[in-house]
Amino acid sequence: MYVGKPLVSDDAGQFKIWGLLHALCWLHAERSIRKLVPMSRREQEAIDGVRDAVWKYYQRLRAYRESPTPQGKAALERDFERLFRQRTGFADLNEALRRIHEKRDDLLLVLDHPEIPLHNNLSEGEIREWAKKRKISAGTRSELGRRCRDTFISLKKTCRKLGVSFWRYLQDRIRGLNAIFPLPDLIREAAHQTQPIPRAPPRFSS
């Protein structure tokens, strides 16, 4: 029995929690192929060919998410086997393909849950600025300082997403002008404008 929404991760160990529906990030999976170091032109061509096939398959997954069908699911499952069970003339590439194939269930979770994303790069971007700030400042001197830092980073990123100047927002609040609507109100308005049409996930038999 699974609880909550499916989680998309880069296969880090801390996310392997019982009862959690877990999907893998396709961009992280492909990196194991991209990072290979060829020693000959033939090996480079093998890598290029496989990467091209992987990205074509990825585009098909994206299309499936928009319009899932039982036929599309069956075709993607079949072609996953063909793609990641193939043997090339490059041993390291074969090993990378084998390891990706071992994660088949997590990578293809999207076939049963087309509402989940295929990658978590957006989630990584959310914490990247915070991580850089922490590294540069070597941490904060107090709990109050930590909360202040995290609050301002969160405010800045929220303003950026809403198309609001963070500098103008700070000036507006410090001066007590209140010419800019409260951020929660702007968030609700933005969510209302981009509200997707509800779609129930398909129920396909295995």
More confident residue, 14 or 130: 130
pLDDT-derived band at 157, boundaries 50, 70, 90: confident
pLDDT, tens digit, 9 for 90 and up, residues 189-205: 877 775 444 444 444 44
Does pLDDT of 63 surpass 90? yes
**C-alpha to C-alpha distance for 48 and 42, rounded to whole angstroms:** 10
Give the CA diameter of the chain: 68
- Are 19 and 1 within 8 A, CB to CB? yes
Q: For 54-60, which contacts have Cβ atoms below 8 Å and span 24 or more sequence positions? A: 54/30, 54/83, 55/30, 57/83, 58/26, 58/30, 58/118
**C-alpha to C-alpha distance for 81 and 170, rounded to whole angstroms:** 54
More confident residue, 176 or 4: 176
Does pLDDT of 138 surpass 70? no
Helix (H) or strand (E) holding 23: strand 20-24
Tokens (6 digits) for 31: 């990196």
Does pLDDT of 206 surpass 90? no
**DSSP secondary structure of 122-184:** HHHHHHHHHHHHHHHHTS-SSHHHHHHHHHHHHHHHHHHHHT--HHHHHHHHHTT---SPPHH
**C-alpha to C-alpha distance for 33 and 97, rounded to whole angstroms:** 8
Question: Mean of the pLDDT values across residues 25-54?
Answer: 91
pTM over 0.75: no
CB atoms within 10 A of CB 46: 19
pLDDT, tens digit, 9 for 90 and up, residues 65-121: 899 999 999 999 999 999 999 999 899 999 999 999 998 988 888 898 888 877 765
Tell me what pLDDT residue 14 has. 41
Residues above pLDDT 90, as percent of the chain: 38
- Are 103 and 119 within 8 A, CB to CB? no
pLDDT-derived band at 144, boundaries 50, 70, 90: confident
pLDDT-derived band at 56, boundaries 50, 70, 90: very high
Q: Where are the domains of the chain?
A: 3-111, 121-193
Alpha carbon 163 to its chain's center: 23
